[in-house]
Amino acid sequence: MANHTVIYCNDGSLFTFGDDTHYQLGFGSCKNTHKPKILMNDENIIYINCNYNKTLIIKYNDGMYELWLCGEYTQSKSHTEFITVPTLIFKCKEYLKVKSTNEYILILLTNNNGMSELWAIGDVMYDTYNKNEPCDKFKMSSNMYNPKFIMRDDEKSKIKSMTCQDGFFTVLKSAKGVDELWINGNYLFDYAKLNDVKCIYQPQLFLTDRIKKVICGMRHMIVWKENNELWGIGRNTEGQLGLGHQVNVCYLTLIMQNNNIKSVKCGSFHTLILMNNILLMLDCVMGFGSHACGQLGTGGLGCNIANSPKIMKYAHIKKIRCGRNFSMILKKNNELWVFGDNKYAQLGFAHRSNIYMPITFDFKKDINVLLSGSVHRNWTYANHCKSKIKFKLNIFAFLLTLKRHQQNIILQKNQCINCWKLPKYLLFEIIEMTTII
């Protein structure tokens, strides 16, 4: 998890603020700042991912996907450097998606036929795995050092998503009507004790079920199943699994079942759940785990841990986000609430004090993508009059076509959208938020 925040706006401007200890803000100064500063202005940005010590940016230029990085760049156990300003790492024709931790970067490449391959750069826990796999895809960049092949799609299963945290990563694959959860690493297994193996150097099949999503904290993991059950495993000393105790859990344990769950996010030592309250016709956020910095938003200075779910807020909420020890809530009116650790000014306030209740962060531009510390990824929303169209960033050709189409409509008809006060461009609003740990 991270201690800095990234905001990408509709006009292509990218802002960063907060912790800059590792040059992750990209200004080359290594100075923390509470004031959002513009890092670049580029409408070709399609994806952003950040964590504790780096920020990753994916652009699409002239038919190629480009990966840019600023911050600490670990290429192997013996090769680490600081990249002080955004620098091109490599580019490729395949659709590109990344997840990162302090120590390594996962790279998912998907070709035009929908076939995917998963690679990694850095200090990962499978140095002896598939060393002979060719790395031709990365030859066009001198900044790629010994990328390691992990797995690819086959006739039986296809990669759906990936998550990672320092010490372990997970891969979710779809296979013949069910999903497979594969795990590689050590920290999670220090608590899980799977087959009494403390460190796993090759991905192992951990669970076969209908799985909607996998969410990882610092050393805990939550599995969100298709039947809307939440199951947890791993570290629980701060109550981050919400089981009513603070004992580490070495096997998947049911946390709750609720058909009104809309989103689940994990910080390093806390968990937030966004739910819909049908009776009140409002959304509510509940949280559990560490509240030492105010990251649960329940107020008070005396209660540092909630080991069972606590309701924090009722409102019309669109999305929730978690950083390392801080959290953010985006309301449907695009109002942004922030709370938790502000030591590095990652909440945008100069006082550097913890915030124990959600307060409004006043950012005067229209936000397209908001990343608190490590999130990728991303939400996008197109608005034309009252019609709403949702689409995925991983189909860039469709995104580009829709963007041009909407711009033409707005410019030709000169429709005034008063609530946005920006009648002349394609307007974006967040519809999805993702946590990058």
Q: In angstroms, what CA-CA distances link 384 with 183, 306, 427?
A: 42, 43, 8
The residue ranges of every structural domain in the chain are 4-428
Output the six-digit token pair for 28: 């080359």
| Cβ-proximal residues to 281 (8 Å cutoff; 6+ apart), any chain | none
> What architecture is domain 4-428?
7 Propeller (2.130)
Please state the φ and ψ torsions of residue 165, each to the nearest 5 degrees. Answer: -150, 160
Under a CB-based contact definition with an 8 Å cutoff, are residues 196 and 184 in contact?
Answer: no
Q: What pLDDT was estimated at residue 137?
A: 60
Q: List the Cα angle 242/379/282 in 5-degree steps.
A: 55
DSSP, collapsed to helix, strand or coil, labels residue 245 as coil
Under a CB-based contact definition with an 8 Å cutoff, are residues 344 and 52 in contact?
Answer: no
**What is the total residue count of the chain?**
437
CA distance 349 to 354: 10
CA distance 60 to 201: 34
Q: Report the run of H or E that residue 408 belongs to, with start and end.
A: helix 396-413
Is 259 exposed, middle or buried, given 0-12, 13-18 or 19+ CB atoms closer than 10 A?
Answer: exposed
Of the CA atoms within 13 Å of residue 425, those in its CB half-sphere come to 11
Q: List the Cα angle 287/392/138 in 5-degree steps.
A: 100
Q: What pLDDT was estimated at residue 364?
A: 65
Which DSSP symbol is given to 417?
Answer: -
| Cβ-proximal residues to 220 (8 Å cutoff; 6+ apart), any chain | 188, 191, 232, 233, 234, 235, 236, 240, 241, 266, 271
User: Which residue numbers in the chain have pLDDT < 50?
Assistant: 127-132, 140, 194-197, 373-437
Q: How far apart are the first and last CA of the chain?
A: 4
**What does pTM read for this prediction?**
0.79
Which DSSP symbol is given to 66?
Answer: E
Give the helix ranges, DSSP H, for 125-259.
187-192
Q: What pLDDT was estimated at residue 195?
A: 47
Closest CA to 163 of 435, 370, 371, 432: 435
